[in-house]
Structure 1
Amino acid sequence: MAKRSSEPEKRQGFFSQMRSLFRFTRDVYGWLPWAQIAILIAGVLIGLILGFLIGGGTVLSLVLWGITGLMLGILGAMILMTRLSTKAMYQKIDGMPGATGHVLSTSLGRRWQASDTPVGINPKTQEAVYRTIGRGGIVIVGEGTRGRLTRLINDERQKSQRVAHGVPITVLYVGHGEDDIAIADLAKTIKKLPKTIDKATMATVIRRVESVSQSLTSLPIPKGIDPNRVRAQRPR
């Protein structure tokens, strides 16, 4: 019997994921190891101080409170690394084609529906337009130079207005120019939009907009970002 040429890919364990997350974050924030060591030391010191103040300074109380402080220090170091890893991800994908779709499809939560595939794209320049629909209405996001995005933005706005009359439409541009939204602030900006439609209306709008959406299967999709390579794996 022929030997199998491939085996199912093994899922990384917790410690392997933490190692990957640490290396990913350290590449951007080189001071991360020193900050984590400082947090660990601070946790132990706080535990020892509490051992003196609360436990009377006995050996047992110092050991127990020292271990407690160490555990809290480990927790603090992990929280710091997790938060910095998110910022590191945004720094790495900033300016890459497809970054907007990645953020919309992974960072908005269940209250918004979005895809990492653009609803409009300029094949020559890779300027792209993305759309998300939620309780805050319809949000159209342009990725690229504003001047070259005008036609794509207008086309998507008119299409949405025809099938979702009365539903608010917000247009955002990702970038670093005046009135642009930084990629790191995109999800936060969208989530802050006031709720203007209920869940039933939202579901209806999604169906109507999707029914008239143009098929983009024949158009080249931006390939500048691969989430599996850019985003470090999170511990499960």
Structure 2
Amino acid sequence: MASRSSAADKGPGFFSQIRTLYTFTKEAFGWLPWMIAGIIVLGILAGVGVGFAIPPVAVWSIILWGITGLLLGVLGALMATTRLSSVAMYRKIDGMPGAAGHVLSTSLGRSWQASDSPVGVNPKTREAVYRAVGRGGIVIVGEGARGRLTRLVNEERSKAQRVASGVPVTVLYVGHEADDVKIADLSKTIKKLPKAIDKSTEAAVIKRLASVSQSLASLPIPKGIDPMRARAQRPR
């Protein structure tokens, strides 16, 4: 029983992840198989070309260089597919409730701490406010219509300024209106913020904010979304 349960707890294998990544990306980019084939063929041709160019020219040398080119082509195809999968993910989650939380919790790296759960939410309209803390200070991210986010954003900004006096607070809105940040550019925008606090101050700020934050687990807002299973919102 223990062996079965431990096997069930294991995540998907490497090839299973590759297959899922390929399927997900192909849904957005139908020409993906042709791109992969092209990259692999170019890799093989490049390897064979090197085999002919480096003396002494021998069949075994050409074959070895061809295999090397094949491996490099596979690696290049995998890297290109991974890059395209990120583009496909941002396209799919754009405009969905919880998209900002997903990006904050998965794309900021170790220099920032954030959660996929909102720190403020309007249960009726599903507008939500998220927060990230890092070397650039405190970042408040509003997701939804700006007009309905004003109160939530102001409350979170006042809370941050009250418990972390002197720490810069940056407010960003995710959307497509003027001055909004696109969901695909959210993590890059936050990472570009200049360093304003050291690690000890960052840890203290995180602790203070956690002590005054309310638990929002019971509110009807997604804590995060799975881009592989995400569905676009129905038009209202």
TM-score calculated relative to the size of structure 1: 0.90
* Ranges of 4+ aligned residues in structure 1 off by more than 6 Å: none
Q: What pairs up with 1:50-199 in 2 under 5 angstroms?
A: 50-199=50-199
Structure 2, gaps ≥5 residues long: 231-236
Structure 1 residue 47 corresponds to structure 2 residue 21: no
What secondary structure does 1:172 align onto?
A: strand
| CA drift at 1:43 | 0.8
* Structure 2 contact 45–69 (Cα < 8 Å) conserved: yes
Distance (Å, rounded) in 1 between the aligned partners of 2:18 and 2:29:
16
2-structure distance, mates of 1:188, 1:112: 12
Post-superposition offset of 1:9: 5.3
Tell me the residue number matched to 1:220.
Answer: 220
The amino acid that maps onto 2:119 is: V
1:134-153 C-alpha deviation (Å, 9 max, x unpaired): 11000000000111100100
Gaps of 5+ in 1: 231-236
1:226 Cα deviation after fit: 3.4
Paired position in structure 1 for 2:211 = 211
Moved more, 57-66 or 115-124: 57-66
Say what the alpha-carbon RMSD is for the aligned residues: 1.8
- Percent identical among aligned pairs is 68
How much does 1:57 deviate?
3.3
Give the aligned residue type for 1:216: L
Cα deviation for residue 223 of structure 1 reads: 6.9
**Normalization by structure 2: what TM-score?**
0.90
The count of corresponding residues between Structure 1 and Structure 2 is: 225
Superposed CA deviations along residues 116-135 of structure 1, whole A, max 9, x for unmatched, are 11011111110000001111
With 14-23 and 162-171 compared, the bigger mean Cα shift is at 14-23
Partner of 1:233: none
Q: Which moved more, 1:48-57 or 1:23-32?
A: 48-57
